[in-house]
Amino acid sequence: MTGRITLDNSVDSAIHIGMLQFGTKLPGKTYIPRPGGYAVIFDHDQRILAISDRGKYIQPDGGVEAGESAEAAVIREAAEETGMTIRIVREIGRANEYVYAPSEDGYYNKMGTFYLAESVDTPGHTTSGEFPGVVRISVDEFESRAAHDSHMWAVRQAIMGSSHSPGPDRS
């Protein structure tokens, strides 16, 4: 997985100064800020819960709606995308990523808050029948086909148990 990590101090993302920035900002393109929450979920065999999307893997995620927190967005979307009820364990960190969304023909700077989460469903709960894109895969498999570098960064941070990006003080 190759990825460029920079500290982004540009005017268009001034509210995220000092945040990790993934992706490449293409000249002449306007990037719309899109805040969201993302869940890194491991099962008891240390496999990652992922969603297969056009041959790539993404994490359960949710765009923040008006009046909603990133935490609430990812809990809501995890249920919609995987059929799972999740509980946030802790914030992993925050990172941004420049992306192009072909389905919307739009350029976005995804401003992600990444969480380590766990399922609160009964042991053995599966989502494979109702949600065929949901898979449980090894970290190596996820890394080989992760759609976004920021998602792989979050998985690595979750494994290391640390964060290199400022987050809120929850004390």
Q: Is the pLDDT of residue 114 over 90?
A: yes
CA-only gyration radius of the chain, Å: 16
**Residue 8 class from Cβ within 10 Å (0-12 exposed, 13-18 middle, 19+ buried)?**
buried
- The sign of the CA dihedral 24, 37, 152, 106 is negative
The gap from C-alpha 102 to its chain's centroid, in whole angstroms, comes to 18
* Model pLDDT, residue 125: 53
pLDDT digits (tens, 9 = 90+) for 67-84: 999 999 999 999 988 888
| Averaged pLDDT, 122-148 | 78
- C-alpha closest to that of 16 among 167, 169, 171, 170: 167
- What the chain holds in terms of domains, given with CATH numbers, is 26-160 (3.90.79.10)
Interval 138-148 mean pLDDT:
94
pLDDT of residue 17: 54
Does 8 have pLDDT greater than 60? no
User: What is the predicted pLDDT for the residue at 47?
Assistant: 93
Report DSSP state, residue 74: H
